[in-house]
Structure 1
């Protein structure tokens, strides 16, 4: 027997679960499909290796869904400051004092209580899964993957790996960068692989939970510190953090092969001096870095959201925030389609969704590329230019704060001078 819904969402990760919740709250019947349900929360568990910096804009969206209080009831670490500086050794550094090339964004100067929260991905997903479960119009289907997808003029039919079938007006692919839905819909992608990969390391350090996240830039890539929660009574006076080390794959393979003490010494030696004293390394994993963009966001009765539509350099942790913006936009567009009694897969509404999201996602992708290429080299003229740029950002707080407010989701546009630079970058034509 074929089950019928208004919308089928494939992928119950953070973006898919958020969209399912939002659509369910609007009375749109949703089937949410994933191969596994999230693990229950364990207060004493060690932190997830995957974490995200959720912006103020994402927090507002998650609060509207009812998920944000659930996240706060588990684990979330607010950060009030973000620091960026250049660590590249170069004779020209003496021309620009270090004190002038470190830029720090502070929530107080933005009139905000914090810049964002560092949250484990598993916790965000679990909170959204819990909110989805409370919606009567959301049906959770776990333990299955999509085997086939057929589209007609009236509906799309999804066949699962057990042979069961689901029908809906619209199928949403929220199933990640290697999206099966995107493949079945025949939507191609453009993809650029970066030379570096990212090594993520969960550590404990001596000291209280810090309120700052920072990145020091090296020719091989940035090295970042993201504060997490207290290590609890079992480790008094210690806190958890996530470290990110960008480098060439061969170098990261060396680091992953090291024992705990050797790796700890390597980190303390090669990370910026402000890194707290480490006491324990809990987990490590490396991830490839690629920029990928779907050639279309929709095809007939299929639409893409989150990593299925786009992946970016994780330099500023904007990936999941862009995904939540996709979900919120698509949720609003489908609400208008339903209000007008129209087909949820109407080309008019799906085209409007792509028109709103593709340029915004492309801007962020190219902005991250600009930072990546600007900082990931030691060419003297470029090195001097970026130090002068950091110095200018330091002494021009208005422009600096406007960029920060854009990244936080508080402002919808970049400052005009920055926007003009981004608009001149190749790849924005035809948007």
Structure 2
């Protein structure tokens, strides 16, 4: 048995890798377990999975040494966000960096690049990387957590942070349940080229079938996330490129002109899933292991990064060893995650309806928010984590 570590993190995706770097930066002894080391980023292969990184998340990435590389390689900034309802196209809500006195609202970043930059930073630290192995036993004891890996290695840590995704094996092993709801929708993702410049703008149109987002990438290219019911997703995926672009143009209704090319397409099922508790004894949940939310405009990863930001209060003084401090962290993070999850769900339900009353209310409501600067700023500051 080796010495007792301060933390073992299970899962080396974006949130787990960031947590390892943040805790190591604070002087803790950390190990990271990851069954599949991320492949090196290739600029020629755009990852279909992209995120809209908020300012507080990018500041965290800067702190752990990955932000500069991400921005240098491919992280286009977006400076506007325009959201409108198909039933009231002349009453959008617009967020503008210029109006909000910010250089940008955020950055569009591919998952593969995000992970590559984080892992390059990890390799330059003394974080112990345990690759190609999995946890097969976990004992959540009074003073430590004991882990057995399928390699036969045994570890002991003051805390275990599970960042092993929505199907978290650690969460299941320690008996934390989840409350889940399947939306009966899928998110279709692809890259498209368009006739007009994207104006460094995230565009989101709400349709009765679900929201359609265009996230600006480079040149006249955007990443799309098109939320549709399961049956319609199957229908759209079966179309050839020309037919798909025709349907997409009709759904988006013109801000970027004609759509001229499309990458490969993929679709993933959408659901809301919240762990009933984020802390059980000396084990805590981070990222998708704790919360899965609707991917409105690519915002979900920011909630995971805020889990990591919340760890900072636990690295001060003796809080790392105090169960009461961890329990407070768990309650706070679950409360904030639940507000986000149910808020995204409510927006999706309100705008993905062709019933008369919601249709009459939606457009004027967006118009009111757009005409009151303080409301616009409040909405954006909440989304930006400021």
Q: TM-score range by the shorter chain?
A: over 0.9
Q: What corresponds to 1:425 in structure 2? A: none
1:353-377 Cα offsets, whole Å, 9 max, x none, are 1132122112212221221121111
Counterpart of 2:382 (choices 373, 390, 406) is: 406
Q: What corresponds to 1:272 in structure 2? A: 253
Give the distance between the partners of 1:276 and 1:143, measured in 2 at CA: 47
Q: CA RMSD in A?
A: 1.7
Give the distance between the partners of 2:150 and 2:257, measured in 1 at CA: 49
Give the secondary structure class of the aligned counterpart of 1:110: coil
Q: What corresponds to 2:310 in structure 1? A: 329
Give the secondary structure class of the aligned counterpart of 1:41: coil
State the 1:42 CA deviation: 2.5
Give the distance between the partners of 2:263 and 2:368, measured in 1 at CA: 39
Give the distance between the partners of 2:282 and 2:194, measured in 1 at CA: 50
Give the secondary structure class of the aligned counterpart of 1:39: coil
Q: What corresponds to 1:416 in structure 2? A: none
Give the secondary structure class of the aligned counterpart of 1:8: strand
Q: What corresponds to 1:16 in structure 2? A: 16
Give the secondary structure class of the aligned counterpart of 1:400: helix
When normalised by structure 1's length, the TM-score is 0.86
Is structure 2 residue 103 aligned with structure 1 residue 113? Answer: yes
**Alpha-carbon contact 1:41-1:74 (below 8 Å) kept:** no
Q: What corresponds to 1:172 in structure 2? A: 161
Give the distance between the partners of 2:98 and 2:121, measured in 1 at CA: 32
Q: What corresponds to 1:198 in structure 2? A: 187
Q: What corresponds to 2:27 in structure 1? A: 27
Q: Show the 5 A alignment for 1:248-267.
A: 248-267=229-248
Give the distance between the partners of 1:274 and 1:206, measured in 2 at CA: 10
Structure 2: gaps (5+ residues): none
**Alpha-carbon contact 1:302-1:345 (below 8 Å) kept:** no
Give the secondary structure class of the aligned counterpart of 2:380: helix
Give the distance between the partners of 2:257 and 2:39, measured in 1 at CA: 31
Is structure 2 residue 123 aligned with structure 1 residue 133? Answer: yes
1:365-408 Cα offsets, whole Å, 9 max, x none, are 22212211211111112111111101211221221121112111
Is structure 2 residue 354 aligned with structure 1 residue 378? Answer: yes
State the 1:277 CA deviation: 2.8
Give the distance between the partners of 2:184 and 2:262, measured in 1 at CA: 26
Give the distance between the partners of 1:2 and 1:249, measured in 2 at CA: 49
Count residues with an aligned counterpart.
Answer: 386
**Alpha-carbon contact 1:12-1:34 (below 8 Å) kept:** yes
Structure 1: gaps (5+ residues): 231-238, 411-431
**Alpha-carbon contact 2:196-2:257 (below 8 Å) kept:** yes
When normalised by structure 2's length, the TM-score is 0.95
**Alpha-carbon contact 2:278-2:331 (below 8 Å) kept:** no
Give the distance between the partners of 2:79 and 2:111, measured in 1 at CA: 20
Q: Show the 5 A alignment for 1:307-326.
A: 307-326=288-307
**Alpha-carbon contact 2:165-2:288 (below 8 Å) kept:** yes
Q: What corresponds to 2:70 in structure 1? A: 71
Q: Show the 5 A alignment for 1:215-234.
A: 215-230=204-219
Q: Show the 5 A alignment for 1:285-304.
A: 285-304=266-285
Give the secondary structure class of the aligned counterpart of 2:227: strand
Give the distance between the partners of 1:26 and 1:245, measured in 2 at CA: 40
Q: What corresponds to 1:212 in structure 2? A: 201
1:103-149 Cα offsets, whole Å, 9 max, x none, are 1110111110111001001111111112222222x111111122221
Give the distance between the partners of 1:286 and 1:2, measured in 2 at CA: 44
